[in-house]
Amino acid sequence: MDDSMVVVDLVPHVGAGPILLGSPRVQARQALLALGFPLEWSRGSVDYFFESAIQTQCGPDDRISFIGLSCHERFTVRYQGRNVFALPAAQLFALIAASEESGAHTYEPCEYCFPDQVITLWDEDEQYDRLGNESNPVWAQVGVGSQAYVAAIGAVRGKV
């Protein structure tokens, strides 16, 4: 790993690297700017950083409720010490499911939310495999959210 490579650890209920769930939007922007990832653009409650490889979403209180990360050459995203974009999609799913306390989970390649850890997986495909020359299906985005995010998802899907 290159010395200039930023490592972002995905920690359920806490955040991703310097971005903390529940922190004010301005604090997340400052934390990413300090890493050399300035705000590129914003749309409503969503901010995009670093070629849109980092996405933050705020709740109505303007605090971070979701952090979405995609593979990029300038940073590594880890879960339990493993690079999430170096693992085939099914293997990452199994790793997260093994730490989930909400019961059994059935693999779904389009999108999935582990409700206990509030970790999301979106869109499995080989085209997102930047590290393995598009040879393995990996997730386009891996995210972590707050309980407020889970409630918002449930409301959108009509489950709340």
Q: What angle do CA 24, 26, 30 make, to 5 degrees?
A: 120
Number of domains in the chain: 1
At 133 the pLDDT is 87
Task: List, for residues 2-50, the tens digit of each pLDDT value.
Answer: 456 899 999 999 999 999 999 999 999 999 999 999 999 999 999 999 9
3-state secondary structure of 25: helix
Domain interval for residue 137: 6-156
In whole numbers, what is the pLDDT of the chain averaged over residues? 92
In a domain, 1, yes or no: no
Instruction: Please report the DSSP string for 59-71 in residue order.
Output: -TTSBEEEEEE--
In a domain, 96, yes or no: yes
In a domain, 141, yes or no: yes
At 159 the pLDDT is 59
At 22 the pLDDT is 97
